[in-house]
Every structure is written in structure tokens, then in C-alpha cells.
Amino acid sequence: MATRSAERGRTTRQRLLDAAVTLVPEVGWGGVTTRMVAERAGVAPGVVHYHFASVTDLLVAAGLGFTTALLDGLAAELAARPGIGEGIDWLLGELSQYSGADPASLLVMEMFLASTRLPELRERLGVQIGGFRAVVASWLTAHGYRGDAEAAAALLAASLDGIVLHRALDPGLDPAALAAPLRAMFAAG
């Protein structure tokens, strides 16, 4: 078998995915071109359409790979926090590394928007977010939250994304300063 070739192909495919992940934040979802990705990945333009049916396919695969890793990491870390207050503080601390203008934030936002025009992407992204919210909700109840944990988890997740969004326009916005009202939300629940 040509296992050597297949292995090389897999690493090339991964390089294309990585290149897409770095390019989307730079030039926007719709601004990524075949030749751009190929150049950044260090391969010939034709390779892109050998490994992916279209540029959009490549972007979808790259984006979903990124969010999977991100959300899985967040969920795992959150589960390890001993209490709700600690968890929120930790989340806000994490958030400080997402300025809203950093590559990760931009990629996620670009995916949100692209998903409104790509049903398949919307479907798969929705499943990921739903799973994350479920984890947060069960974590809240497990640590004594008495209100509607589903609603609280939804609001928490939405607030986090909203904060990132606003930080993009107001770099002076400090997530830590929002801890008080955010903790109040769950203390009262």
C-alpha cells in the first residue's frame, strides 16, 4: 500500500486546515481564496481542490475543528472548578485572553455569520453550543444553583460571547469588572 503517500496527504490536509484557521480572522470568511490558503500552507493551488470539494468545505471543516477543541477544553476546565463563584471568576479570567479582536474571537464570530448562509454549518455549530450549554447547566445544578439552570447557562454563555463582542470595540472594557453583577446573577438563583 501507499501508506507513505497517504500519510503525507494527511499532513498536507492538516496544513490546509491550519492555514484556513489563521486566514479567516485576517481577511474574513468570504475573503479567503484558494491561492491564499495554498500559499500559506506552502503547497500548489491545485492541492486545495484535491483535498476539499470547495473552498467553503475547507473553511467549514477548519472552523468546526477549531470550535470543537475550544469548547471541549472550556467544558473540561470548568468542570474542575469547586464552586460557582470560582467557576465564573475563572471564566472571566479566561475571557481576558479573548479581546474580541484576537484571531480566536474573530474566527468564531465569522463562523456565526457564515452559518446563517450555510445550513450545514449552522446545524453542526448549534449542536456544539447546545452540548456546551448542557454541560454548564449540569455543572450549575451540581454546585447548588437553585433557579432554572438551563436559562442561567444560556444567559451565561450568551453574556460571555457578548462581552467578547463588545471588547472588540472597546478595548478598555475589563471582564473582571463585570464579575460582581455576573456573580449576583447566580447568587440570587
Partner DNA sequence: GGTCGACTTGGGCAACTGTCCAAACCCTAC
Partner DNA sequence: GTAGGGTTTGGACAGTTGCCCAAGTCGACC
Residues found near DNA in the complex (CB under 7 A): 1-6, 8-10, 12, 32-36, 43-51, 53-56
Q: How far is the CB of 5 from a second copy (least distance, A)?
A: 37
N-to-C CA span, the chain: 61
Per-residue x/- track, 103-142, a second copy (CB under 8 A): ---x--xx-xxxxxx----x--xx--xx------------
**Could you tell me if 26 and 12 are in contact, meaning their C-beta atoms sit under 8 angstroms apart?**
no
> Which of DNA, a second copy, none does residue 104 bind (CB under 5 to 8 Å by kind)?
none
Instruction: Name the one range near a second copy by CB under 8 A: 28-36, 41-49, 61-69, 72-80.
Output: 28-36
Q: CB 48 → a second copy: shortest distance, Å?
A: 19
- For the bound state, the minimum distance from the C-beta of residue 108 to DNA, rounded and expressed in Å, comes to 21
Asked if 40 interacts with a second copy (CB under 8 A), we say: no
The answer for 179, left when phi > 0, alpha when psi is -120 to 50, beta otherwise, is alpha
Look at the alpha carbons of 150, 154, 157, 159 in this order and tell me if their dihedral is positive or negative: negative
Of 89 and 161, the one with the shorter C-beta distance to a second copy is 161
Integer angstrom CA distances of residue 153 from 85, 86, 94, 131: 14, 15, 17, 11
Question: Nearest 5°: CA angle at 158, between 72 and 118?
Answer: 75
Minimum CB separation from DNA for residue 98, in Å? 28
Neighbour-count burial of 175, counting CB atoms closer than 10 A to its CB (0-12 exposed, 13-18 middle, 19+ buried): buried
CB of residue 39 to DNA, shortest distance in Å: 10
Q: Closer to a second copy at the Cβ: 9 or 30?
A: 30
